[in-house]
A and B are shown apart, each in its own frame.
Chain A
Amino acid sequence: MKIRIKFAKYGAMKFIGHLDMMRYFQKAVRRADIDIRYSEGFSPHQIMSFAAPLGVGIESYGEYMDIEVLSMTSAEDIKLALNGVMAEGVEILSVNVMPDNVKNAMASVAAASYRIRKKSEDARTAAAGGGEDAADDTAEEFPITDLGGKLQAFWSQEHILYTKETKKSVQEIDLKQGIYELSAEPDGAVRMLVNASSGGNIKPMTVMEQFFRFAGADIPQAACQVIRLETYADMAADGEAHRFVPLADVGKYS
Chain B
Amino acid sequence: MTRPCAGDTEQKMRKLALSDEILMRVEKPARYIGNEINAVIKDKEKVAIRFAMCFPDVYEIGMSHLGIQILYSMFNEWEDVWCERVYSPWVDLDQIMRERHLPLFALESQEPVRDMDFLGITIQYEMCYTNILQILDLARIPFLAAERGEDVPIVIGGGPCAYNPEPIADFFDLFYIGEGETQYRALLDRYLENRARGGTRLDFLRSAAKLPGIYVPQFYEELYHADGTVRGRKKRYADIPDKITKELVLDVTKTHYPLKPVVPFIKVTQDRVVLEIQRGCIRGCRFCQAGQLYRPVRERDADRLKEYAARMLANTGHEEISLSSLSSSDYTQLDELLNFLIEDCGRRHVNISLPSLRIDAFSLDVMSKVQDVKKSSLTFAPEAGSQRLRNVINKGLTEEAILHGAALAFEGGWTRVKLYFMLGLPTETEEDIRGIGDLSNKIAAVFFETVPKEKRVNGKVQIVTSTSFFIPKPFTPFQWARMCTKEEFLDKAYLTKQGIMEQLNQKSIKYNWHEADVSVLEGVFARGDRRVSKVILEAYRRGCLFDSWSEYFHNDIWLQCFADCGLDIGFYTTRERAEDEIFPWDFIDCGVTKEFLLREWKKAKEETVSPNCKKQCQGCGASRFGVGICREKKTESYV
Residues of chain A having any CB pair with chain B under 8 Å: 8, 10-13, 15-17, 20, 23-24, 26-31, 33, 38, 42-44, 46, 56-57, 59, 61, 83, 85, 87-89, 91, 93, 115, 117, 119, 123-126, 128-132, 134-139, 189, 222, 225, 227, 229
Contact = CB atoms under 8 A, between A and B. Distances in A.
Please list the 3 inter-chain residue pairs (A to B) with the smallest Cβ-Cβ separation, ordered nearest first: A27-B317, A30-B317, A126-B19
Contact of B29 (A15, A88, A117, A139): A15
B633 interface: no
B137 interface: no
Contacts of A135: 15-20
A61 B6 contact: yes
Interface string B351-364: 10000000000000
Interface of B: 1, 3-4, 6-7, 9-10, 13-24, 29-30, 33-37, 100-103, 105, 110-112, 263, 265-267, 313-319, 348-349, 351, 372
Nearest to B33: A12
Given A91-B1, A131-B110, 10 more contacts: A11-B10, A15-B29, A83-B1, A87-B265, A88-B13, A129-B101, A130-B17, A131-B17, A135-B19, A222-B21
A88 B3 CA distance: 12
B10 A137 contact: yes
Contacts of A24: 265
B268 to A, nearest CB: 11
A16 to B, nearest CB: 5
24 contacts: A10-B4, A15-B29, A27-B317, A31-B317, A38-B349, A59-B7, A59-B9, A83-B1, A85-B317, A88-B14, A88-B35, A93-B3, A124-B19, A124-B21, A125-B19, A126-B18, A126-B21, A126-B22, A129-B102, A129-B103, A130-B112, A134-B17, A135-B17, A135-B18
A137 B110 CA distance: 16
Nearest to A33: B314
A132 B14 CA distance: 10
A132 B105 CA distance: 12
Contacts of A12: 13-14, 16, 33-35
Contact of B7 (A17, A88, A227): A227
A28 B317 contact: yes
Contacts of B37: 27, 31, 85, 87
A34 to B, nearest CB: 11
Given A129-B103, A132-B15, A89 B35 contact: yes
Nearest to A36: B349
Nearest to B271: A23
A51 B316 CA distance: 25
A27 B314 CA distance: 9
Contacts of A125: 19, 21, 100
Contacts of B1: 83, 91
A185 to B, nearest CB: 10
A24 B267 CA distance: 10
A24 B351 CA distance: 17
A115 B6 contact: yes
A144 to B, nearest CB: 19
A29 B112 CA distance: 34
A16 B319 CA distance: 19
A30 B14 contact: no
Given A10-B9, A12-B14, A126 B35 contact: no
Contacts of B349: 38, 44, 46
A31 B315 contact: yes
A225 B7 CA distance: 9
Nearest to A19: B267
Nearest to B41: A88
Contacts of B7: 59, 115, 117, 139, 189, 225, 227
Nearest to B373: A42
A178 to B, nearest CB: 23
A87 B39 CA distance: 10
B319 A30 contact: yes
A16 B21 contact: no
Given A20-B265, A128-B100, A135-B19, A227 B6 contact: yes
A125 B266 CA distance: 25
A192 B20 CA distance: 23
Contacts of A59: 6-7, 9
Contacts of B34: 12
A88 B314 CA distance: 19
Nearest to A25: B317
A91 B313 contact: no
Contacts of A132: 15
A56 B319 CA distance: 25
B6 A27 contact: no
B572 to A, nearest CB: 40
A52 B571 CA distance: 62
A43 to B, nearest CB: 7
B531 to A, nearest CB: 36
Contacts of B13: 11-12, 88-89
Contacts of B20: 57, 119, 123-124, 135, 137, 222, 225
A119 B7 CA distance: 11
Nearest to A129: B103
B374 to A, nearest CB: 9
Q: Which of B20, B112, B349 has the most CB of A within 10 A?
A: B20
Contacts of B105: 130-131
Contacts of B30: 15-17, 20
B319 A27 contact: yes
B12 to A, nearest CB: 9
A243 to B, nearest CB: 24
Contact of B101 (A117, A128, A227, A229): A128
Contacts of B317: 26-31, 85
Contacts of B10: 11, 136-138
A188 to B, nearest CB: 11
A43 B376 CA distance: 13
A15 B23 contact: yes
Contacts of B21: 124-126, 222
A131 B104 CA distance: 10
A61 B4 CA distance: 9
Nearest to B109: A131
A10 B599 CA distance: 63
A174 B107 CA distance: 44
A89 B4 CA distance: 10
Contacts of B316: 27, 31
Contacts of B112: 130-131
B586 to A, nearest CB: 43
A24 B10 CA distance: 22
Given A87-B37, A130-B102, A11 B17 contact: no
A91 B3 contact: yes
Contact of A131 (B9, B23, B111, B313): B111
A26 B348 CA distance: 13
A130 B351 CA distance: 42
A246 B222 CA distance: 73
B103 A130 contact: yes
Contacts of A124: 19-21
A25 to B, nearest CB: 9
Contacts of A87: 35-37, 265
Given A43-B351, A222-B24, A229 B6 contact: yes
A124 B19 CA distance: 6
A162 to B, nearest CB: 22
A43 B102 contact: no
A117 to B, nearest CB: 7
A139 B101 CA distance: 25
B318 A43 contact: no
